[in-house]
Amino acid sequence: MKKIPIGISSCLLGEKVRFDGGHKRDAYIVGTLGEYFDFRPFCPEVAIGLGIPRPTIHLIRTGKEFRCVGVKDPSLDVTQQLRETAQHQAANHADLCGYILKKDSPSCGMERVKVFTGAQPQRDGFGIFAQEMMRLNPLMPVEEEGRLGDPGLRENFIQRVYVRYRWQQLLADGLSPQSLTHFHARHKLIIMSHADYREMGQLLAGLTKDNVQELAGQYILMLMDTLKIVVNRNNHVNVLQHIQGYLKKQLSADEKAELVELIERYRDGEIPLIVPLTLLKHHFRKTPDPYIEDSYYMSPYPQELQLINQL
């Protein structure tokens, strides 16, 4: 499969675009994710002409809004320029399947950016460019490099990237009631691990050629919003037990007992998710089931990423 297009803050790839002429190269992003993602670097502060090196900027609170101004020269206000550069980038973002932002940045931070009211900062701000970019791209998975250190958040982001990529492929191949229904069926177990999938199923129950575009727009907004929920062990256990039901006539009593034991050991945190999944895959290789074989749940992204090994 070709690499997936992902937007990224330039400094995370090692580009020397920081205010001090340095960078924040992230080894995991470059070395691991770079094998699967086609990174499109961008630095909004450079794009608006602040230069390298440049005066430091930060967020200040003025009433109910944030402004991005110079630390030493508050008359340097680049708030509107940062918003406009996000708007100018909208066409370049259309084919992206995700975006990785630099944490704590007054331009690129996704959340918990320092905002100054007088001399005392509070961590309740967001980068001006990042906020506008996310507003313009509500379907795009977005994450900060710092949060990718958390296994649950990392898996959640990458799973959403691959769902977004498959959605782009669906649209490119031609949307129809049949193709949208098939897309939903292949992702149903993934959705189940995040939340109740029945509302999406009910939405698609009335699909016709005449309303497929409208309902597809509602569906993908609902789907991407649902997938932001980070899955916990109990949710995965519910899905594993559901999948186990497809083997109730095929397994011996000892095989069933072994599978039940592994699922419970996963619930208790003794083993990672990959262990019961590997055993399930083994059983389905011996007795294939078309629905399970077609589902993305047990193989949501390339196995080499090893994300499931850490859940």
Diameter over CA atoms, the chain: 75
What pTM does this model have? 0.94
- Asked if residue 53 has a cis previous peptide bond (ω within 30° of 0), the answer is yes
What confidence category does residue 79 fall into, taking pLDDT thresholds of 50, 70 and 90? very high
Does 119 score more than 80 pLDDT? no
* More confident call, 306 vs 68: 68
CB of 57 within 8 A of CB of 69? yes
Does 1 score more than 80 pLDDT? no
Which tens digits make up the pLDDT trace of 272-295? Answer: 999 999 999 999 999 999 999 999
Q: What is the mean pLDDT of residues 147-154?
A: 94
CB of 272 within 8 A of CB of 266? yes
What confidence category does residue 212 fall into, taking pLDDT thresholds of 50, 70 and 90? very high
Alpha-carbon distances, residue 59 vs 12, 65, 133, 292 (angstroms): 21, 10, 17, 49
For residue 255, what are the contacts with CB-CB under 8 A and spacing of at least 6? 283
Q: Rounded to whole angstroms, how far apart are CA atoms 10 and 33?
A: 15
pLDDT for position 223? 97
Q: Rounded to whole angstroms, how far apart are CA atoms 253 and 291?
A: 24
The H-or-E segment that residue 201 falls in is: helix 198-204
Q: What is the mean pLDDT of residues 215-220?
A: 97
Does 309 score more than 90 pLDDT? no
What confidence category does residue 97 fall into, taking pLDDT thresholds of 50, 70 and 90? very high
